[in-house]
């Protein structure tokens, strides 16, 4: 039996009668968006002086100045494609060289083993 009794025994809270007293959940979606201000519009950002907005899954320039760089963009894409092709070719060459090195190393080890066997065989004859 505790000296001062069980001083901590919180009361149980009574259950709620209604989950929400607001009637906004009864409204249709468009009315709720207007009432609660849920319509944000399209996301926009300012990057290096260019104003861009997000439409249909792509960032689009709001000003026409970005369209002037279309030739530069095409040139960069073409250069990127060339570099990717060159990178793939170099990877293929490295793979071929590694295969050749492995084959040469294996042949070298076989020849060394054969040479050692011949040396041992010639020592036994003497």
Higher pLDDT, 71 or 105: 105
pLDDT one-digit tens code per residue, 20-62: 666 666 667 777 777 776 666 778 888 777 788 888 888 777 7
Average pLDDT over residues 62-82: 77
First-to-last alpha carbon distance for the chain, in angstroms, is 102
**Greatest CA span in the chain, whole angstroms?**
109
User: What is the pLDDT, as a whole number, of residue 73?
Assistant: 83
Task: Tell me the pLDDT of the chain averaged across its residues.
Answer: 81
Return phi, psi of residue 93, to 5°.
-65, -40
24 neighbors 34 (Cβ within 8 angstroms): no
Average pLDDT over residues 84-89: 97
């Amino acid at each position: 039996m505790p000296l001062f009794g069980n001083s901590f025994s919180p009361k149980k809270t009574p259950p709620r009668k209604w989950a929400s007293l607001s009637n906004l959940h009864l409204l249709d979606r468009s009315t709720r968006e207007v009432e609660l201000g849920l319509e944000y519009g399209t996301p926009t950002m300012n990057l290096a002086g260019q104003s861009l907005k997000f439409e249909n899954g792509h960032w689009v320039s709001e000003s026409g100045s970005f369209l002037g760089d279309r030739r530069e963009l095409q040139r960069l894409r073409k250069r990127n494609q060339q570099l990717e092709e060159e990178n793939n070719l170099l990877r293929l060459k490295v793979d071929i060289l590694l295969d050749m090195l492995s084959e040469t190393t294996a042949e070298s080890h076989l020849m060394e083993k054969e040479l050692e066997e011949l040396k041992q065989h010639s020592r036994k004859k003497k």
